[in-house]
Structure 1
């Protein structure tokens, strides 16, 4: 196949049926993320109902991340004893149980148990969902498939979190969790179909081998570059480049810490900068919409120029979070509002794009052990959430202005690492 034929082949690789299957996988990430963050918008209602403080309810989100970080690697190792489909279905089934337990919670302890249950299988789903998506598409569309799946998380920021808050105000938080449980059951059933046996005819239509850990060694070869070196990786003999995987995960850790250091206290920052808490809903919507758009766009370039995509994403992230810090300076009100709106859009878009860029990079470096490498990445991601939110709580005790300032400093470190070390592997002839 010639170089000029490759794009057309890649485009033909994702037909309508594959797109629907990817949408089902995206729905799985949507329900998981929505349950993970749903206490944020209903924190007062939940606290009153469970006779707890808002601070205790807030710890449900931080604690979730800590449990997921500790449990991911061992639970993924356990899940390796069964098929990927079985592991994903079981993780969603556990989520349904956790949601039902949360809806029936008569006290704070029961709510904690429900959060722990969901967090225990969180890493299994997030470690296996991207590799599962990769098996549905040709190798040169892996980045697109990963971005599509991560779109579910972006949609959770646009619809899931605001939606549960809105519905909770109408029918109560317990009924809202039951609605989410019903949605999770539907997604679970759809997932069984999406990852079920594909017909031989459908498989024959694929122009090129799928990115599958069970693929035959005879599938062919691909060229992957890490840093300045380009190395051909033969499927039958490739091994995990753990040094490169850990380096990329390290960069991701700093980025996630920088993000959640400010994002966890988004409402506080917005209120202090604008002096009006009511604009928070608008800015959260802007954040989510920018993330959805960026997730779509990154899928178009992540398969062809991942290193350049990573660099551009980090530049935008630094610009966004840095511009947010400008809101705390003595500038005219109109300038402050404009700066915050633009900052939120750039910040939301860049962070949403960074997820599929880093996740796809980890899978490319992992060769045939994508599940285990993804487990390490998910663990690091959860550690970053805990580090960011915890550090932010300390800085908030001094001044909210410290949050975007420190986030900007950490983001700059990430940008330097991406530009100098180039931890995201290149593909093809990218330099």
Structure 2
């Protein structure tokens, strides 16, 4: 695998740490800026909104740029927003920097995905994406707790400075390893938009959103589930989260090695694993050892879907992958938004924390149900695509 792919994974680690770290710093931000905890929590929601809309807009805007120039621009803006966030005493300014940083982070994901796939070659798409997404997994294991500890001991602004420094390292890595100039095949917006009309692509997006939602509805409420329902002490929460992260790293690594050759088999096994683990968690929230095993299983099988869903999108998109990859980033963020929202509705209705396991299993069942439709579409769709490309429809 080219060294540049690993450097792109480092850049995702830097930006993913920023995405995650505020979850552990809300009390400090709230106290320092004089706002409520729910208001501070909006900083997390603002990041999700920026991610949701940023990928397709920036992918289209920078389509004819060199990929190195686009990624450098995104990283520079990302670093500067964190410098501004570290310096400001205004909640409004901090909120604006979170939206802006998420916006360019989404653009970086879209362009970096296409770049990694191109550098790795068509036979190693899933492996390249597992390395890229592995940066986010490592951010979950290392970046989130490190950012939280840094913020708790040196102030939340220090975590922002650390992300800005990591972004500077990523800028140096992109400069050193990613070739400049345009490629031989300069993307055309019309071809990219035409690719987006393929029904198979939207089936892939549905699988992405549903599988992500199934995992995130559980992950978002793990801390209160463990302490209030399972009965574990507070100090167990970071331990279980770390075990979840290790499982995620194992899942994404194994899937990266199998998804190129057997994408649908990999997705089937992974989603079935999520369903079983989520049901076990729902039934065993009062049994600590079994609940922890189920949570590790959700991390392992949940993240194993990632390389496979990404590889499917690039396979369907063919020679016009940039906009397709951007919308897949948005599909991930639909799932990130959908899962916790459904979990919140169930908890507000008094269902209790075991409900998040049942919701996660239900979303994973829907994701699994999309696969036979995709397999059938794969058999019949190419003829339709040839016909529409000939007629211009």
Flag whether TM exceeds 0.5 (same fold).
yes
Q: What residue is the counterpart of 1:265 in the other structure?
A: 221
Give the deviation of 1:139 after TM superposition.
2.1
Q: What residue is the counterpart of 1:201 in the other structure?
A: none
Q: In the aligned structure 1, how far is the partner of 2:183 from the partner of 2:331?
A: 22
Give the deviation of 1:341 after TM superposition.
1.4
Q: What residue is the counterpart of 1:355 in the other structure?
A: 306
Give the deviation of 1:123 after TM superposition.
1.9
Q: What residue is the counterpart of 2:48 in the other structure?
A: 65
Give the deviation of 1:368 after TM superposition.
0.9
The alpha-carbon distance between structure 1 residues 425 and 344, as it changes in their structure 2 partners (threshold 3 A), is: farther
Give the deviation of 1:167 after TM superposition.
1.8
Q: What residue is the counterpart of 1:296 in the other structure?
A: 253
Give the deviation of 1:215 after TM superposition.
5.5
Q: In the aligned structure 2, how far is the partner of 1:246 from the partner of 1:420?
A: 11
Q: In the aligned structure 1, how far is the partner of 2:127 from the partner of 2:208?
A: 20
Give the deviation of 1:401 after TM superposition.
2.5
Q: What residue is the counterpart of 1:386 in the other structure?
A: 337
Q: In the aligned structure 2, how far is the partner of 1:214 from the partner of 1:301?
A: 30
Q: What residue is the counterpart of 2:390 in the other structure?
A: none
Q: In the aligned structure 1, how far is the partner of 2:105 from the partner of 2:290?
A: 36
Q: What residue is the counterpart of 1:403 in the other structure?
A: 356
The alpha-carbon distance between structure 1 residues 214 and 325, as it changes in their structure 2 partners (threshold 3 A), is: farther
4+ aligned runs moved over 4 Å, structure 1: 212-216, 238-241, 423-426
Tell me the alpha carbon deviations over residues 385-411 of structure 1, each in whole angstroms, 9 at most, x when there is no partner: 122222222222222232221121111
Q: What residue is the counterpart of 2:204 in the other structure?
A: 248
Give the deviation of 1:420 after TM superposition.
5.6
Tell me the alpha carbon deviations over residues 19-46 of structure 1, each in whole angstroms, 9 at most, x when there is no partner: x222101011111111111110111111
Q: In the aligned structure 1, how far is the partner of 2:285 from the partner of 2:169?
A: 45
The alpha-carbon distance between structure 1 residues 72 and 138, as it changes in their structure 2 partners (threshold 3 A), is: closer
Q: In the aligned structure 1, how far is the partner of 2:120 from the partner of 2:56?
A: 26
Conservation of the 8 A alpha-carbon contact between 2:195 and 2:324: no
Give the deviation of 1:188 after TM superposition.
1.0
Matching residue within 288, 293, 306 for 1:337: 288
Q: What residue is the counterpart of 1:166 in the other structure?
A: 149
The alpha-carbon distance between structure 1 residues 411 and 128, as it changes in their structure 2 partners (threshold 3 A), is: same
1:286 aligned onto 2:286: no
Give the deviation of 1:128 after TM superposition.
1.4
Q: TM-score under structure 2 normalisation?
A: 0.88
Give the deviation of 1:291 after TM superposition.
0.8
Q: In the aligned structure 2, how far is the partner of 1:94 from the partner of 1:314?
A: 37
Answer 1 or 2: which has greater helix percent.
2
Q: In the aligned structure 2, how far is the partner of 1:140 from the partner of 1:320?
A: 31
Tell me the alpha carbon deviations over residues 268-303 of structure 1, each in whole angstroms, 9 at most, x when there is no partner: 112123222221111100111111111111111112
Q: What residue is the counterpart of 2:264 in the other structure?
A: 307
Q: CA RMSD, aligned part only? A: 2.2
Uncovered stretches (5+) of structure 2, i.e. residues with no partner: 187-193, 380-393
Uncovered stretches (5+) of structure 1, i.e. residues with no partner: 1-13, 199-211, 217-237, 330-335, 427-431
Q: What residue is the counterpart of 1:412 in the other structure?
A: 365
Q: What residue is the counterpart of 1:21 in the other structure?
A: 4
Q: How does 1:33-52 map to 2 (within 5 A)?
A: 33-52=16-35
Q: In the aligned structure 1, how far is the partner of 2:308 from the partner of 2:64?
A: 28
Q: What residue is the counterpart of 1:202 in the other structure?
A: none
Q: What residue is the counterpart of 2:162 in the other structure?
A: 179
Conservation of the 8 A alpha-carbon contact between 1:240 and 1:369: no
Matched residues, number: 369
Q: In the aligned structure 2, how far is the partner of 1:423 from the partner of 1:181?
A: 46
Conservation of the 8 A alpha-carbon contact between 2:59 and 2:110: yes
Q: In the aligned structure 1, how far is the partner of 2:55 from the partner of 2:368?
A: 27
Conservation of the 8 A alpha-carbon contact between 1:133 and 1:146: yes
SS in 1 for 2:120: coil
Tell me the alpha carbon deviations over residues 203-227 of structure 1, each in whole angstroms, 9 at most, x when there is no partner: xxxxxxxxx98469xxxxxxxxxxx
Of stretches 167-176 and 29-38 in structure 1, the one that deviates more from structure 2 is: 167-176
Q: In the aligned structure 2, how far is the partner of 1:268 from the partner of 1:69?
A: 27
Tell me the alpha carbon deviations over residues 299-341 of structure 1, each in whole angstroms, 9 at most, x when there is no partner: 1111211111111111111122222112346xxxxxx112111
Conservation of the 8 A alpha-carbon contact between 1:72 and 1:378: yes
Q: What residue is the counterpart of 1:274 in the other structure?
A: 230
SS in 2 for 1:45: helix
Q: In the aligned structure 1, how far is the partner of 2:52 from the partner of 2:173?
A: 28
Q: In the aligned structure 2, how far is the partner of 1:421 from the partner of 1:371?
A: 21
Give the deviation of 1:88 after TM superposition.
1.0
